[in-house]
Amino acid sequence: MSSWIFFTLGAAFMQAWRNAFQKQLSLDVGALGVTLARFLWAWPLAGGYLLILHAWQPVSLPHFSALFAFDIVAGALSQIIATMLMVRLFQRRSYAAGVGLAKSEALLAAILGVMFFGASLSPLGWLGVIIGAAAIWLMKGSRTPGIADGSTIVIGLASGMFFALTTLWVRHASHQLTDLPFLHASAWVLFFTITTQLVVLLTWLGWRDRTTLVRVYRRPKLVFCISLASCLASIGWFTAVNLEHVALVKTLGQIEVFFTLLISHHWLREKITGRDRWGLLLIVISALCVMWT
């Protein structure tokens, strides 16, 4: 199995758990607080991972350009916005529906990658992306009465767009560290991205919303679970997109919906519909198209 497939499957599994933990925290904490929980403990974990890599395979420190710094800041801010929007989805919809809407990122990543980042896909790759998008559209269904479905779709698409931009900028940043092995390059990008996110969120909340910081502080176990799952997922995503086109990684990564449905049904006790099952079948077909590309 290609290494990017291994990293993608691992990332999808950990991201499903991270989103489930975030759904739980969103019952008591606002969107910015839940977003902070994603990065709070992930920062020292990412730093430890980077040190382990350099101890295992010592290499020279890389040169960081102004363009690299721009990619890091742009990707970090995009991920903050995307996560906040997804938390809004959790507060409006079920966990499974919220994740499903945010997974529009695969198709958006394909379009944005071709338009602005010089990416290209084979016809089979495009077919996989389109089938995956159809699956997510099928699964998003209107399940919760009394919620404006149009505005929910807009939030979901916006979340997907910012997640797509995050991974495109991450890939661009990783490819600038050409003097490093792919694991080291991805680890440096991860560490700087999380550092930027943590500084931005702590500064903003410390200035404008200290109550949210207190609420996050009062849920240490759940916050640590979110950060740990987030860090492991990010290691997988950042490494995978360094090795393969973002659209293909994110399309295969839609297998996360399978893990999401299992967690939703067995842990959160949310109902799984017939649309979910049909959508899951399309996601499997989509993933097969991508792996055969």
Query: What are the distances in angstroms from CA 134 to CA 27, 61, 152, 289?
Result: 30, 44, 17, 14
Q: What pLDDT score was predicted for residue 98?
A: 57
Backbone dihedral region of 118: left (phi > 0), alpha (psi from -120 to 50 degrees) or beta?
A: left
The pLDDT value given to residue 36: 93
278 CB neighbour count, 10 Å cutoff: 13
Question: What pLDDT is recorded for position 249?
Answer: 85
pLDDT attached to residue 233:
95
Structure confidence at residue 292 (pLDDT) = 63
Q: Domain limits at 24?
A: 3-57+64-291
Per-residue confidence (pLDDT) for residue 261, from 0 to 100: 73
Number of domains the chain is built from: 1
In order along its 293 residues, the chain shows pLDDT tens digits of 578 889 999 999 998 899 889 888 988 888 899 989 999 999 999 999 999 999 999 999 999 999 999 999 999 999 999 888 877 776 665 555 555 666 666 667 777 777 767 666 677 777 777 777 777 666 655 444 444 456 777 787 788 889 889 989 999 999 999 889 999 999 999 999 999 999 999 999 999 999 999 999 999 999 999 999 999 999 999 999 999 887 778 778 877 777 877 776 666 565 666 666 676 667 667 766 655 65
Q: Tokens for 117?
A: 């980042």
Backbone angles phi, psi at 145, to 5 degrees: -65, 150
User: What is the structure's pLDDT at 281?
Assistant: 67
pLDDT value for 280: 64
Helix (H, G, I), strand (E, B) or coil at 17: helix
In three-state secondary structure terms, 167 is helix
How far is 52 from 63, CA to CA, in rounded Å? Answer: 20
- Collapsing DSSP to helix, strand or coil, 29 comes out as coil
